Structure 1
């Protein structure tokens, strides 16, 4: 069985805009009127849910997220949401956080600030971002911000160089932005016990 955090497909940010229809969640797509015989008793539309591995994947592939990687390996993987420099806690601590949040929730789902990757990283590390000037803990959100930053912050003088030089500078800025945004190296993070997180949900909204 898999404990994960989701908001129903098409409801990630709840803005009432077209974004709600083009961004999809990790929620099991099985209709509620035909529950899975293995996890139907635990299935819910959103929040922290428990589902079997088949419903969790729903035809997709299972990918391994790596913890405690070296900076060199981190930079060698240009796609965000695949690894972090942060170390994983022992399995019993991870399971305790996940089961506690299954019973008590993990706040409101937001595709940029509080998503399924944020949930997994917190369960594995116990780390939370404690500043409001943040897009969340997830590598995918950080990569998006890094890509935007690399584009908008490139000095105009680079526009006169070759395309190869411009691409190299942009990619370098993207890599540096990803690295400094990783939860394993950021200074605006703190280790927060899960009981305290649930008792003070504003910590997760920071």
Structure 2
């Protein structure tokens, strides 16, 4: 792996690796935990990789990989109550390229990776612990899927670090979500600085700076509102309703409301 790409070979994989693969046009990446024996445990919306409950799904789903009509005999079907599934590596990649997510990167390398959802400043736990968490969540679930608050990248990062964002009402917990909303947000936030510079290049540099700063500040390894929650405690709280991600119930033609992480 290097500065420009996290691409790896299948032979280099080991159980506990956080892997991902970009989908069509690099609109989003799908993340999971490799657990050995050519198997990947990953989080979906009952088998569907993405979904927001809005018109944005038309773009996201159309960018996803074409699925075979016949089910793979080595992959588990999604359960009704949750979307954590086990797939063979081929089905997980769906014809895409294999990448490995990087942990404990330096601030300089983090900022050099312009696209979010590829690395973090947070430190990973031991591989056997990561595999244990993924397998436990396969049996017990990871709560309600939400593309902005509780998605496949959040699942993989939790398996690697045991870290969860505790504060309510935060959008864009994962680096991938920050990339989606960070660009437009940076443009908005940097617009008042037009009073300082009217040069188009200066404005572009300012917008990039705001975007990079937002990525850095919201990274799971830098945030001050994260807590370590053991996986058994997490699934117990989810099962009893003490911890939940609440999805907004809105019409398809309306903007998606911010989901909330609720604790009791």
> What SS does the corresponding residue of 1:200 show, helix, strand or coil?
helix
My pick for the range that moved more, 188-197 or 42-51, is: 42-51
8 Å contact 1:27–1:56 — kept in the other structure? Answer: no
Is the aligned partner of 1:129 residue 2:165? yes
- Tell me how far 1:11 sits from its aligned partner: 6.1
Distance (whole Å) between structure 1 residues aligned to residue 131 and residue 64 of structure 2: 20
Q: Is the 8 A contact 2:149 2:172 kept in 1?
A: yes
Distance (whole Å) between structure 1 residues aligned to residue 244 and residue 105 of structure 2: 25
Are 2:77 and 1:43 aligned?
A: yes
Flag structure 2 segments of 5+ consecutive residues without an equivalent: 1-38, 246-260
Is 1:150 aligned to residue 186 of structure 2?
Answer: yes
Q: Are 1:12 and 2:51 matched, yes or no?
A: yes
Asked if the contact 1:128–1:192 (Cα under 8 Å) also holds between the matched residues in 2, the reply is: yes
Q: TM-score, normalised by structure 1?
A: 0.88
Counterparts in 2 of 1:49 and 1:157: CA distance versus 1, 3 Å? closer
Q: Which residue matches 1:115?
A: 151
Match of 1:62 among 98, 103, 128: 98
Look up the match of 1:165. 202
Task: Answer yes or no: is 1:85 the counterpart of 2:121.
Answer: yes
Structure 1 gaps of 5+ residues are none
Equivalent in the alignment of 1:174: 211
Comparing both structures, which one devotes a greater share of its residues to strand? 2
1:2 equivalent in structure 2: 40
Residue deviations 1:150-186 (CA, integer Å, cap 9, x gap): 1111243526521111111111111101100100000
Task: State the Cα distance separating 1:44 from its structure 2 match.
Answer: 2.4
**Offset, 1:12:** 1.5
Deviations 1:43-66 (Å, cap 9, x if unpaired)?
Answer: 327700001001111111111110
SS at match of 2:243: helix
**How many residues matched?**
200
SS at match of 2:42: strand
Q: Deviations over 1:61-91 (max 9, x none)?
A: 1111100000000000010100000001001
How far has the Cα of 1:200 moved from its partner? 0.9
TM-score by length of 2: 0.70
Q: Is the 8 A contact 1:6 1:26 kept in 2?
A: no
- The CA distance in 2 between the partners of 1:63 and 1:10, in whole Å, is 17
Q: CA deviation at 1:22?
A: 2.0
- Return the alpha-carbon distance in structure 2 between the equivalents of residues 113 and 18 of structure 1: 18
Tell me the SS of whatever aligns to 1:102.
Answer: helix
